[in-house]
Amino acid sequence: MSGTSEQVTAGPGEQRLDPAGRPVPDFPVPAPLAAHGPARVIAMCNQKGGVGKTTTTINLGAALAEYGRRVLVVDFDPQGAASVGLGTSPHELDTTIYNLLMERGLDVREVLRSTAVENLDLLPANIDLSAAEVQLVGEVARESVLSRVLRPVMDEYDVVLVDCQPSLGLLTVNALTAAHGVLIPLECEFFALRGVALLVETIEKVRDRLNPRLQVDGILATMFDSRTLHAREVVARVHEAFGDTLLHTVIGRTVKFPDATVAAEPITSYAPNHPGAAAYRQLARELVARGDAA
């Protein structure tokens, strides 16, 4: 696929430009960490479906893990796509994040599992989680249940990535309450910006009422097809509306991502030399350079 050449390659002495026309800084390979934790929690959030939240959670997580970061992926979507994408079969799970949310006395360590990716652990979910939205409504401090669940292991990880479901309901509010930052994947298509205002409003409400430290870490353009003028126009409009909240890194559209999902592997191990893997490694380096990840 040629749609993955998401950045203009520069000749010697020339600046590489991102699709918004900005020079791309050099994002250095992060230095190894001498010690781990406390974790920075990043919620992957967009109430629009199919924009690349799960793909970004898995592949950013794997890229950060490759750089020696200890990463926990929290599957916070009853569809369980992140769990499947990291090699678990959700119907065979005894305990999931659902049990942690609903049962006091169950420790997060009893539910989290390692994955085939070194340094990357998973808190899995399955369809059970769909009941939590309703069941949590009557709980005391119902918005901060995830935050409480994660607390015992915060010092063991450098980054926790929460893969949200496509809604702005109570589960997503829990993710935003537990988070330090929000990463917003946006598909490069015409209606991409629809709904972003509502998302930003929700983030602001959570910041005002529940979690003053919460910030928007960045907007990530996904499924970018460099061959179409249209995709470039979308990126230009996002840049116009959000300025440098738009990350330099852009994820190209390629069938390698669904292929990797079918193989239940991150692209960084499924096709380590593919431009899609390079793009998620660059995203990891960009977030570290911005101070959004360890």
DSSP-H helix ranges across the chain: 53-66, 81-85, 97-102, 132-135, 145-150, 170-178, 196-209, 229-242, 256-262, 267-270, 275-290
* DSSP character at residue 161: E
**Total chain residues near Mg ion (CB under 5 A):** 3
Residues 151-180, one symbol each (x = binds Mg ion by CB under 5 A, - = not), give ------------------------------
Residue 211 interacts with ligand ATP (CB under 6 A): yes or no? no
* Residue in this structure with the two tokens 């169950």, named with its chain if needed: 106
First to last CA, the chain: 33
Cα distance between residue 30 and residue 285, in whole Å: 7
* Residue in this structure with the two tokens 């950045």, named with its chain if needed: 7
Partner touching 51 among Mg ion, ligand ATP, none, CB below 5 to 8 Å by kind: ligand ATP
Cβ 64 vs Cβ 160: under 8 Å: no
- For residue 102, the minimal CB distance to ligand ATP (Å) is 22
Between 177 and 261, whose beta carbon lies closer to Mg ion? Answer: 261
- 162-183: buried (b, 16+ CB within 10 Å) or exposed (e) per residue? bbbbbebebbbbbbbbbbbbbb
**Residue 121 φ/ψ, nearest 5 degrees:** -110, 165
- For residue 265, the minimal CB distance to Mg ion (Å) is 17
Partner touching 222 among ligand ATP, Mg ion, none, CB below 5 to 8 Å by kind: ligand ATP
- For residue 51, the minimal CB distance to ligand ATP (Å) is 4
Residues 68-97, one symbol each (x = binds ligand ATP by CB under 6 A, - = not), give ---------x---x----------------
Partner touching 253 among Mg ion, ligand ATP, none, CB below 5 to 8 Å by kind: ligand ATP
Please pick, from the candidates 166, 202, 215, 228, the single residue that binds ligand ATP as defined by CB under 6 A. Answer: 166
- Residues near Mg ion (CB under 5 A) are 53-54, 81
